[in-house]
Chains A and B, each alone.
Chain A
Amino acid sequence: MDLKPLSSGPSPEERAAVDAVLGPPDAAPGAPRGLAWASAHRHLLLPALRAVVRRVGWVRPGALGYVVERLHVPPAEAYGVASFYALLPLDARPPAVLHVCDDVACRARGAAEGVAALRASFGEAGTVRDGATFHTSPCLGLCERAPAALLTVAGEAPREEAFGAVTVERAREALATRRAPEDVRPPLPQRGAPELRLLARVGRVDPTDLDAYRAAGGYQALRRALELGPAAVVRALTEAGLLGRGGAAFPTGKKWQAVAQAAVRPHYVVCNADESEPGTFKDRVLLEEDPFALVEAMTIAGFAVGAEKGYVYLRGEYPLAAARVAAAIAQARARGLLGPDVLGRGLSFDLELCRGAGAYVCGEETALFNSLEGRRGEPRNKPPFPVEAGLFGKPTVVNNVETLANVPWLLLHGARTYRSVGTAGSPGTRLFCLSGCVVEPGVYEHPFGVTLRAVLERAGGVPSGRSLRAVLLGGAAGSFVGPGELELPLTFEDTKQAGVSLGSGVVLVLDDTVALEPLLLRIAAFFRDESCGQCVPCRVGTERQEELVQRLCAGRPEGSRATELALLAELGQAMRDASICGLGQTASSAIESAVVRLGLWKGGAS
């Protein structure tokens, strides 16, 4: 491998930021940090580049060159990695950037008009004034506070601050003062309700205090797991019928068992906290408000599958969640609940927090592994599956935050009690992310089998005087359902039979004040932006799909509307059938459902 240095060197600030992550170049006396060290630390490429961005706002060539030199990564490859991630900009940016969400849930609450007004008053996205600029952003996972924004300020003491209820005034205030304006966080709607399982502690138990967590029953489940032994823990999950909440509804017990039995070592446990499906924010609430539960659940997972190391891959846009999880890990470690001898019982398990850098596809489990390893977040071909060859090529359990949140409750109450709510095919409860045109948006926990109507009613329904137009169920990768489908029981089996999906629990409500077409355009643009670009059906298909939707929305079809709709359907089928990963496979779902279920462009709603 030949390494040619990139022309300009790093600035002192950039060098310091990189060294803070990688350690000083000559840290280990007598053991120069050469090739062996570098190849063992390749996974620090993203953290190092992120540190540069936090310090100076973007990845200057000199800084990229320094990272490349320290980690012995070929410059072309490192450039390929940096250019993959939205939060690792390679073009000059001022220190303060306001990321204004203009995605579906925020649009249902006026984000498009807000952004247009901001353009008119501040200038186009990217305009720099007094060291600050704004860019539009895909869903920030703050949909209950829509329209939402995230302010990032690079510097010696970098800051990341999210806030909701964005108006032009509040956005300009943030840009001018480099401080987020006051954020009103609505309380959890069901706070304190006795039937809550996953949300029981949210809003009631101090999420920053390990003692408060323990006083509220925390760490009893780990003790129970240690009594039961690994095999019985896995059996309990299987008997309870716990299904993955990350989208694919895969049986969690089966997954854990496969890793527990895998001969290849070491094993890893990974928490998928990349939550980037537009309209989804349930994991954020769990991470922010109950972080110790995640630490405990992952420790149980490590014990059950024989892993000593776990990783939390947290989306880059969740600053508060990152701080809370980092603090929880640190407290747990300090108190002997993580480390070489957990609870003094000889169990060795530790956790590392890694932050994403702005790429929806990194929520796909194998893309997530690549990203954790310091590579482009491109999904891998399956098989082999993660239980066989996952992170660093080793057997890996990867679970969604909500899936893991079920584990402590399940072990404490047993599989029978766990199944006392929900249906035979979908036992237990589910978190739903209510957003858009509802009176009380937020995260709700309901038993599986609850009807869509009941879920809407619990959230207060659409504002009075308006009528329901449609619900986007499952997120951008999900489907629209019409007002005639409210009796649908929300279970994996019923939604599957109805040809829709629960996905990540998104229930995005649209009333008659919201036009559908702009939302479809946004969804099409989202998939075009977020395709990793690996495979043809998705790389070119998402581009063509957006062009088609644009023509249909503009009423300027190529040929007739009928031929355009036929082409859209064929394109959808090819993307679904021939794409490598779930992104391409579901990129046409919402758009097709608007045509098929809502009758859009067929003389129906528009």
Chain B
Amino acid sequence: MSLHLPVLPERRTVELTVDGAPVSVPEGATLLDACQKLGIDVPTLCFARNLAPVNVCRVCVVELAGARTLVPSCSRKAEPGMVVATDSERVRLSRRLVLELLASSVDLSTAPRVTEYLARYGARPERFGPGAQTVAQPVKVDNDLYVRDYGKCILCMKCVQACGSEAQNTFAIAVAGRGFPAHISTELDVPLPESACVYCGNCIGVCPTGALMGRTEHELRAAGAWEPERQTEAETICPYCGVGCSLVLTVQDDRIVRAASNERSEVTRGHLCIKGRFGWAFVR
């Protein structure tokens, strides 16, 4: 048997300028890719490597010469000759406002990256006053495996994508309503056990804010017993079936407190099933 390697079409490259520096990226790459190649740290919230860009948070915007508005770097494809600025006044203002809008309406206490972004852009969400409307609401605890705390939700759509056509194909959740009251919901807002949810937990895996959280973690945090400094992470292969999903287990005091998978894993692309995600309650 001979091994036929596919003949890859020659990948063309695109030359552009970012913050004054020339950079070349493969055709199809985004402005974010170009920035990252140059080592420029562009903030992102609704972008995940394992899901299609939805470009809704707008924290990654950059200034593209000739464009009327700023453009989202996470989705905008690089084109030859583009001239891009990632730290202009306009860019900084929009990023700061986006962060202030989010921080004044959403509980970001379990969204680690955002704290750093807020500081970086000098965001002062309190400018909008104590009367600013928020999405605060009680945590939804309606099953044994995970909780939904939509007071922490930034509507990044990651969970809907993961539950739907991009990973799980279950379509248990979607966006409902519109405008500020828009929210992630099951049909008619029924509890998860009455929905199509199969508890794969893939939505938890992609949620960037901690709005979706395994019950173990949620309860430890509520009890003030979630202690990252006493946690270790171990990479392993899930033993439940023959697929061989890679797992990242977070262990605290000899107890598995969280199971996830690396989004760069060829096997899982970060996604698991109910057993890999939650089948650890009794394992020590």
Contact = CB atoms under 8 A, between A and B. Distances in A.
Q: Which label, helix, strand, loop or mixed, suits the secondary structure of the A interface?
A: helix
Given A533-B182, A558-B128, 7 more contacts: A4-B194, A75-B186, A528-B180, A531-B178, A533-B180, A539-B180, A541-B101
A511 to B, nearest CB: 32
A376 B98 contact: no
Contacts of A576: 69
Contacts of A539: 155, 179-180, 182
Interface string A559-581: 00001000100110110111110
A535 interface: yes
B102 A540 contact: yes
Contacts of A90: 188
Interface stretch (A77-85, A161-169, A202-210): A77-85
A105 B55 CA distance: 35
A578 B70 contact: yes
Contacts of B187: 6, 64, 68, 74-76, 78-79
B268 interface: no
Most-contacted residue by chain B among A74, A530, A536, A567 (CB, 10 A): A536
A536 B55 contact: no
Contacts of B58: 535-537, 578-580
B215 interface: no
A227 interface: no
Nearest to A531: B179
A362 to B, nearest CB: 11
Nearest to A567: B127
A1 interface: yes
B85 interface: no
B38 interface: no
Chain A CB within 10 Å — which of B72, B93, B176 has the most? B176
A80 B175 contact: yes
B131 interface: yes
A537 B174 contact: no
Interface in A76-111: 76-80, 83-84, 90
B94 A578 contact: yes
A544 B59 CA distance: 18
B97 A537 contact: yes
6 contacts: A4-B195, A61-B188, A79-B187, A83-B185, A383-B77, A533-B178
Nearest to B55: A381
B44 interface: no
Contacts of A80: 174-176, 185
Nearest to A534: B56
Given A536-B57, A574-B97, A574-B98, A381 B72 contact: yes
Interface string B186-215: 111000001110100000000000000000
B102 to A, nearest CB: 6
A547 B55 contact: no
B132 A74 contact: no
Contacts of A61: 188
A542 interface: yes
Contacts of B127: 558, 563, 567
Contacts of A74: 164, 171-172, 174, 187, 196
Contact of B170 (A1, A6, A544, A563): A1
Interface string A376-412: 1000010100000000000000000000000000000
Given A78-B187, A536-B58, A83 B101 contact: no
A344 to B, nearest CB: 45
B176 A528 contact: no
B180 A542 contact: yes
A212 interface: no
Contact of B176 (A79, A536, A547, A585): A79
A29 to B, nearest CB: 31
B57 A83 contact: no
B137 interface: no
Interface residues of B, number: 51
Contacts of B174: 74, 76-77, 79-80
A558 B128 CA distance: 8
A558 B129 contact: yes
A529 B185 CA distance: 19
A83 B72 CA distance: 28
Q: Which of A76, A90, A537 has the most CB of B within 10 A?
A: A76
Nearest first, the 4 closest Cβ-Cβ pairs linking A and B are A533-B182, A74-B171, A574-B97, A75-B187
B173 interface: yes
A528 B98 contact: no
B180 A83 contact: no
B169 interface: yes
Nearest to A575: B97
Contacts of B155: 533-534, 536, 539
B133 interface: yes
Contacts of A1: 169-171, 196
Nearest to A540: B101
Contacts of B131: 547, 558
B93 A570 contact: yes
Given A4-B196, A74-B196, A578 B188 contact: no
Given A76-B171, A547-B133, A577-B90, A537 B180 contact: no
A540 B175 contact: no
B86 to A, nearest CB: 14
Nearest to A74: B171
Contacts of A4: 194-196
A90 B187 CA distance: 11
B97 A76 contact: no
A468 B171 CA distance: 55
B179 A547 contact: no
B94 A577 contact: yes
B179 to A, nearest CB: 4
Contacts of B133: 543, 547
A596 interface: no
A136 B131 CA distance: 25
Interface string B204-241: 00000000000000000000000000000000000000
A577 B69 contact: yes
Nearest to A84: B178
Interface in B23-73: 55-59, 61, 69-70, 72
Contacts of A78: 187
Nearest to A80: B174
Contacts of B56: 534-536, 580
Nearest to A571: B97
A533 B185 CA distance: 14
B196 A76 contact: yes
A376 B179 CA distance: 12
Interface in A1-21: 1-4, 6
A85 B213 CA distance: 31
